[in-house]
């Protein structure tokens, strides 16, 4: 037995409940408490607002079906990174991981950490500065996840349950304690059926689809699930369906309590609903819920994303030390520490909002490419003519039509974002392209 065989491996300790909570935690952050107003500014009737969120939910469920089949086929550490590597080329997977560490995941975590510090200080009035709270939150979650996948997952599960309770409380208060709700009356459409209406719905769908994004990160921890083929596939479907239900009821309550016009006029709809129900005390209560939700999102990111950098290092496309697994905790502590450090640096730099604006279009390029990989894997399975290649695994209902529709939806979101923000989109694409020479360097270094 060689030394590689004796090296510690990741521990398979996660089950179906863990998978479901990780899926939901990767989607639900602070946005659902604040972002419904963005859609209401594009379309102006209860029917159109809720239709946008429902359509986005249906697209997300199709995406969950696709990722469920991919997870059942290839239950490997790194998840989406592994799918891209197997379907296309290691360079594509590397560029994805490169963007995840430098921009997408880390920038998102930095932004959420700053949001957490804002709400934490608003609620507690602690004698600390916002940067100190940001550092402490990210450092604490880094340490917890270095203690083992069970510790990280248990923390994530607890925070996700608390998030769900906060959303349920918001819905209950909005339905039963707002004294003069605006109701759901009014015409179905805010303008005649026309190209203008189609453009408005397209504009409304962009923030909706970004709000539903994030389920793919659950695939990163495939290598630490007891039965990834079964539990991750089921967790994806249950988790995304649960989020769609939560998002629909939150938006229903926001429209019911505030009305379309009132919703469009406030940038803090959840606080506005709770303020109508219980005054300033209600706004403080929902601030607690938002604080918990942001911390839960950070916890999920710290648990999942480092597994991609670990997989890159195992492929000898990153520093060898990033693939080191602690023999006692059996987690990639260097990869986890790297994620925490990068998030702290970007949060303190104050550049996270600019970074996020660069990558909104890039994010859905990866969604579309990953979904399209299913066509590649299906074709390979058929050419292999192997019962093991197809087996009794989960299969996407309605494929290839449903898969193609999801890929088209991703392409439309990318094109829409580039059209609206050509400058930022160009910078985001340049950041991705910059990963090519870095990949070539690592290829050269690996040969030495």
Residue 192: give its domain's CATH number: 1.20.1740.10
Q: Which of 158, 142, 151 is nearest to 13 (CA)?
A: 151
- Give me the mean pLDDT over the 100-117 stretch: 86
Residue 157 is assigned to a structural domain of this protein: yes
**Residue 251 clears pLDDT 70, i.e. is over it:** yes
Of 320 and 186, the one with more pLDDT: 320
Residue 345 in this model has a pLDDT that exceeds 50: yes
Question: For residue 242, how many C-alpha atoms fall within 13 Å in the half-sphere facing its CB?
Answer: 24
Q: Which of 39-53, 59-73, 227-241, 345-359 has the lowest mean pLDDT?
A: 345-359
Q: Which of 288, 253, 283, 284 is nearest to 271 (CA)?
A: 283
**Residue 110 pLDDT > 90, yes or no?**
no
Phi, psi values for residue 259, rounded to 5°: 80, 160
Q: Is residue 40 part of a domain?
A: yes
Identify whether the C-beta of residue 220 lies closer than 8 Å to the C-beta of residue 93: no
At 2, the pLDDT band (50, 70, 90 cuts) reads very low
**pLDDT over 90 (residue 306):** yes
Q: Left, alpha or beta for 133 (phi > 0: left; psi -120 to 50: alpha)?
A: alpha
> Is there a cis peptide before residue 112, judged by omega within 30 degrees of 0?
no
Q: Do 26 and 218 touch, CB atoms closer than 8 A?
A: yes
pLDDT recorded at residue 384: 57
224-260 per-residue burial string, b: 16 or more CB within 10 A, e: under 16? bbeebbbbbbbbbbbbbbbbbebbebbbbbbbbbbbb
80 occurs within a structural domain: yes
What is the count of structural domains for the chain?
A: 1
| Coil, strand or helix at 225 | strand
Contact 80, 236 (CB under 8 A): no
pLDDT of 105 reads 86
What is the reported pLDDT for 388? 43
Band the pLDDT of 3: cuts 50, 70, 90: very low
pLDDT band of residue 190 (cuts 50, 70, 90) is confident
Structure tokens at 34: 């604040």
Q: Which residues pair with 225 in a beta bridge?
A: 14
Q: Is 50 exceeded by the pLDDT of residue 387?
A: no
Classify residue 359: in a domain, yes or no. no
Q: Please report, for residues 105, 157, 249, 340, the alpha-carbon distance to residue 337 in angstroms, rounded to integers and kept in the order given.
A: 14, 21, 37, 5
What is the percentage of the chain residues whose pLDDT exceeds 90?
51
Classify residue 386: in a domain, yes or no.
Answer: no
Res. 419 pLDDT band, cuts 50 70 90: confident
The region of weakest confidence among 4-8, 40-44, 354-358 is 4-8
**pLDDT given for residue 350 in this prediction:** 76
Instruction: Give the pLDDT confidence score for residue 386 in this predicted structure.
Output: 47
* Residue 125 CB contacts under 8 Å (≥ 6 apart), including other chains: none
Residue 298: inside a domain, yes or no?
A: yes
Quick one: pLDDT band at residue 357, thresholds 50, 70, 90? low
State the average pLDDT for the chain: 88
What the block records as the tokens of 433 is 């392209």
With 0-12 / 13-18 / 19 or more C-beta atoms within 10 angstroms meaning exposed / middle / buried, residue 33 is buried
Which of 14, 19, 406 lies closest to 212, judged by CA?
406
For every residue of 89-154, DSSP letters joined together read -HHHHHHHHHHIIIIIHHHHHHHHHHHHHHHHHHHH--SS-HHHHHHHHHHHHHHHHHT-HHHHHH
**Is pLDDT of 403 > 70?**
yes
The per-residue pLDDT for 123 is 86
pTM: 0.88
| Structural contact between residues 149 and 223, judged by C-beta atoms closer than 8 angstroms | no
Does residue 3 form part of some domain?
A: no
pLDDT band at 300 (very low <50, low <70, confident <90, very high): very high
What would the pLDDT profile of 198-208 be if each residue is shown by its tens digit? 888 888 888 88
205 vs 42: CA distance, rounded Å: 9
Give yes or no for a contact between 92 and 231, defined as CB atoms under 8 angstroms apart: no
Domain that holds residue 286: 13-351
Distances (CA, A) of 322 to 73, 98, 306: 26, 14, 9
Which of the four pLDDT bands, split at 50, 70 and 90, describes residue 383?
low
* Strand partners of residue 14: 225
What pLDDT is recorded for position 4?
45
The per-residue pLDDT for 214 is 84
Identify the pLDDT of residue 74: 87
Token look-up 């450092």 returns: 139
Q: Which pLDDT value is given to residue 356?
A: 66
Q: Report residue 390's pLDDT band, with 50, 70 and 90 as the boundaries.
A: very low
Q: What is the mean pLDDT of residues 355-367?
A: 78
CA distances from 353 to 26, 107, 130, 419 (A): 19, 8, 16, 19
pLDDT level of residue 353 (50, 70, 90 thresholds): low
Query: What would the two tokens of residue 411 be?
Result: 């392409």
Residue 369 lies in a domain: no
Reply yes or no on whether the pLDDT at 57 is more than 90: yes
The token pair that represents 385 in the structure block: 């003519």
């Amino acid at each position: 037995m060689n030394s590689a065989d004796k090296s510690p491996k990741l521990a398979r300790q996660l089950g179906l409940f863990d998978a479901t909570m990780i899926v939901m935690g990767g989607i639900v952050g602070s946005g659902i408490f604040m972002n419904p107003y963005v859609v209401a500014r594009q379309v102006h009737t209860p029917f159109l607002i809720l239709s946008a969120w429902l359509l986005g939910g249906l697209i997300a469920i199709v995406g969950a079906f696709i990722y469920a089949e991919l997870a059942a086929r290839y239950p490997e550490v790194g998840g989406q990174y592994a799918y891209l590597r197997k379907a296309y080329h290691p360079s594509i997977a590397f560029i994805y991981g490169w963007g995840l560490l430098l921009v997408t995941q880390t920038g998102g975590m930095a932004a959420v950490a700053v949001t957490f510090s804002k709400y934490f200080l608003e609620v507690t009035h602690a004698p600390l500065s916002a940067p100190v709270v940001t550092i402490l939150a990210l450092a604490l979650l880094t340490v917890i996840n270095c203690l083992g996948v069970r510790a990280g997952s248990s923390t994530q599960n607890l925070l996700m349950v608390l998030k769900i309770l906060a959303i349920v409380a918001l819905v209950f208060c909005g339905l039963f304690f707002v004294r003069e709700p605006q109701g759901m009356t009014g015409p179905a459409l805010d303008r005649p059926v026309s190209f203008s209406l189609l453009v408005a719905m397209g504009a409304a769908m962009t923030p909706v689809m970004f709000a539903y994004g994030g389920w793919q990160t659950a695939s990163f921890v495939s290598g630490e699930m007891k039965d990834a083929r079964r539990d991750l596939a089921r967790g994806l479907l249950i988790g995304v369906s649960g989020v769609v239900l939560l998002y629909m009821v939150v938006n229903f309550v926001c429209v019911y309590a505030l009305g379309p016009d009132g919703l469009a006029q406030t940038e803090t709809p959840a606080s506005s609903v709770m303020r109508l129900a219980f005054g300033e005390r209600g706004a403080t209560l929902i601030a607690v819920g938002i604080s918990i939700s942001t911390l839960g999102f950070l916890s999920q990111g710290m648990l999942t994303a480092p597994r991609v950098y670990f997989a890159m290092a195992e492929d000898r496309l990153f520093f060898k030390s990033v693939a080191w697994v602690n023999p006692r905790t059996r987690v990639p502590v260097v990869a986890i520490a790297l994620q925490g450090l990068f998030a702290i640096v970007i949060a303190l730099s104050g550049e996270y909002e600019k970074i996020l604006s660069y990558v909104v279009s890039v994010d859905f390029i990866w969604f579309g490419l990953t979904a399209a990989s299913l066509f590649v894997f299906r074709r390979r399975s058929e050419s292999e003519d192997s019962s093991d290649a197809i087996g009794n695994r989960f299969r996407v209902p309605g494929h290839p039509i449903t898969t193609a529709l999801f890929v088209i939806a991703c392409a439309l979101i990318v094109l829409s974002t580039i059209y609206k923000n050509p400058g930022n989109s160009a910078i985001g694409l340049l950041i991705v392209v910059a990963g090519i020479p870095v990949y070539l360097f690592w290829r050269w270094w690996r040969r030495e």
